[in-house]
Amino acid sequence: MLEGLPDEVRLPAAFAVALALAFATTPLARRVALATGFLDHPVGYKQHGRSTPYLGGTAVLFGFLVAAALFGDALSTYLTVVACAVGLAIVGTLDDRLGLMVAPRLAAHVAAAVALWWAGLGWDLFPGDAADLVLTVVWVVALINAFNLMDNLDGAAGTVASVCAAGTAALAAIQGDAVLAAFALAISGACAGFLPHNLARPARIFLGDGGSTPVGFLVAAAIIAIPDGVLDWTTLLASAPLVGIPIFDTALVVVSRRRRGARILAGARDHVTHRLVTVVRSPRRVALVLGVAQALLCLISIQLHELGQTAALVGGLMLLALGSLLLGVLEGAGPVTKRLERMS
The sign one gets for the Cα dihedral 188, 42, 327, 284 is positive
The sign one gets for the Cα dihedral 322, 323, 326, 327 is negative
2 lies in some domain: no
243 lies in some domain: yes
pLDDT for 122 equals 94
- pLDDT grade for 265, boundaries at 50, 70 and 90: low
Could you give the dihedral angle defined by the CA atoms of residues 195, 220, 143 and 120, in that order, rounded to the nearest 10 degrees?
150
Look up the domain containing 312 and give its range: 7-343
Q: What is the pTM of this model?
A: 0.92
Q: What are phi and psi of 232, to 5 degrees?
A: -145, -170
- Which pairs count as long-range contacts for 43-52, CB under 8 Å and 24+ apart, including other chains? 44/267, 45/267, 45/268, 45/269, 46/267, 47/269, 48/154, 48/202, 48/203, 49/202, 50/202, 52/202, 52/203, 52/204, 52/205, 52/206
Answer for the pair 311, 232: CB distance below 8 angstroms, yes or no. no
- Is the model more confident about 322 or about 258? 322
1 lies in some domain: no
Angstrom distance (rounded) from CA 237 to CA 301: 9
Q: In DSSP terms, which residues pair with 52 in a beta bridge?
A: 40
Task: Name the nearest CA neighbour of 254 among 242, 244, 266, 236.
Answer: 266
Residue 39, SS3 per DSSP: strand
pLDDT digits (tens, 9 = 90+) for 4-29: 678 888 899 999 999 999 999 999 99
- Mean pLDDT value across residues 312-318: 87
pLDDT for 25 equals 98
- pLDDT grade for 44, boundaries at 50, 70 and 90: low
CB atoms within 10 A of CB 153: 22
pLDDT digits (tens, 9 = 90+) for 73-96: 888 889 999 999 999 999 999 999
pLDDT for 299 equals 96
- Mean pLDDT value across residues 134-163: 95
Does position 335 have pLDDT exceeding 50, yes or no? no
- Mean pLDDT value across residues 157-176: 96
- Terminal CA-to-CA distance of the chain, rounded, Å? 52
pLDDT for 228 equals 75
User: Which of 8-17, 174-183, 255-264 is least confident?
Assistant: 255-264
Q: How many structural domains comprise the chain?
A: 1
**DSSP E strands, 45-144:** 52-53
Average per-residue pLDDT for the chain:
89
- pLDDT grade for 172, boundaries at 50, 70 and 90: very high
Distant-in-sequence, close-in-space partners of 35: CB < 8 Å, separation ≥ 6: none
Answer for the pair 294, 160: CB distance below 8 angstroms, yes or no. yes
pLDDT for 333 equals 45
Angstrom distance (rounded) from CA 243 to CA 171: 13
pLDDT for 314 equals 87
The sign one gets for the Cα dihedral 93, 94, 95, 99 is positive
User: Which of 97-101, 111-115, 164-168 is least confident?
Assistant: 97-101
- Is the model more confident about 306 or about 289? 289
227 lies in some domain: yes
pLDDT for 123 equals 94
Omega within 30 of 0 (cis) for the link into 241: no
